[in-house]
Amino acid sequence: MALIGLAIKRRADQLVLERRYNALVYLQGTLMPSHKGRRLRPLIFAVVAFLTGCAQKGYWLVHPKGAIARTEWHTTILDAAVMGGVVLVAGGLVAAFLWRYRVGGKSRSYDPTFTASLVIEVLVWGVPLMIVGYLSYFSVKSVFATNPYNPLAVRRAVAREGHMNEAFTRRADPSGVNAIDPAAHPVRPLRVDVVTTDWQWVFIYPKQGIATVDELVVPVRTPVKFQLTSATVVNDFFIPELVGEIDIMPGMRTKQGMIASRTGTYHGYSDDFSGGGFSWMGFVTRVTSPERFKGWVRHVQGAKDRLTYARFTRVAQPTINLVDKIRHFSHVQTGLFDHVIEQVMEGRVYRTPLAMTESMTKPMKVRLIK
């Protein structure tokens, strides 16, 4: 599902790739106009695709900017490297056996008394068991490191950041009088409640008393604890550069945790098909400094629009919003997240107008919620 979602979102990169390919084909046709030159086009396309993937800064899966995403990426690389090595060795042995024991070759003579070989048994059973055990060890470590309800990778990142601050302070003050004690000055996590609709994202900051639509802003190097639910159907919360995907169920409470190591703007979206507006169900993730985050909170707290449950029911109506995606709300109703879950469990639905889905393939008039 992650790859399908990326394919949908990366159409622009595909167009760039096609233009580069056509340019190289033109050069190849100019320099090598023969039939042999045309045979090289598949190879040219493969080389361009590989180099484009390496050069594009927006190729999200290979540029992790958070502890969770980095752990998942390292585990993926390890699995791919080990399994790639297995495939190469197995393929090499098959090729060697085919060549050695080919018809007409100088193969060894047939031994009808051969029944067993300890060396072969060790290789056939021992090597696979060692590989499975090796991968299992790192898979278990990765599972605990990225566990949504208690990600060890986030805790380690917080501890590492605390030790870095302590070391920096001690370099500035060798006497150690003003040294920072990470245990005495823990980093306070930020709580964000996430509610998905058709087809928007509502982010609620309970402590700050604000909410946003299609915009998630968090401070850098600060643990973020998410509570997630859906007001409609199942969706997947996914920010490839920061945190892996997790299912969001209607009427249920799901948890996720992350920490961002660098400031910047990242792409987030739903990684599960949830109806006709799925392709537009994306949100902006901004990682800022703690000072800028406080300033942004003060700015949102001055918004005129307030988010009560009655207002939320209008926001949750199926909407294809392509223009004015980001909206801010101040004075969020207390307990709104829990109230949404209760209403869904009692049977509250938000029906999609039939005309909306029928016109998905036609030029659409964007309807904005006022």
Show contacts of 92-97: CB within 8 Å, 24+ apart: none
Q: Could you list the pLDDT tens digit for every one of the 370 residues in the chain?
A: 444 444 444 444 444 444 444 444 444 444 444 555 555 556 655 655 555 544 445 555 667 888 999 998 889 899 999 999 999 999 999 998 888 877 766 666 667 788 888 888 888 899 899 999 999 999 999 999 999 998 989 988 888 776 444 443 444 445 544 444 444 445 789 999 999 998 899 999 999 999 999 999 999 999 999 999 999 989 999 999 999 889 999 999 999 999 999 999 999 988 888 777 787 888 999 999 999 999 999 999 999 999 999 999 999 988 877 777 899 999 999 999 999 999 999 988 888 777 666 655 544 444 444 3
Quick check: 289 and 222 in contact, CB under 8 A?
Answer: no
- What is the identity of the amino acid at 294? K
Give pLDDT, residue 198: 87
Give the C-alpha separation, 203 to 213, whole Å.
Answer: 6
Give pLDDT, residue 211: 96
Give pLDDT, residue 196: 93
Burial (Cβ within 10 Å: 0-12, 13-18, ≥19) of residue 66:
buried
Burial (Cβ within 10 Å: 0-12, 13-18, ≥19) of residue 176:
exposed
Give pLDDT, residue 35: 52
| Global pTM exceeds 0.75 | no
Give pLDDT, residue 171: 47
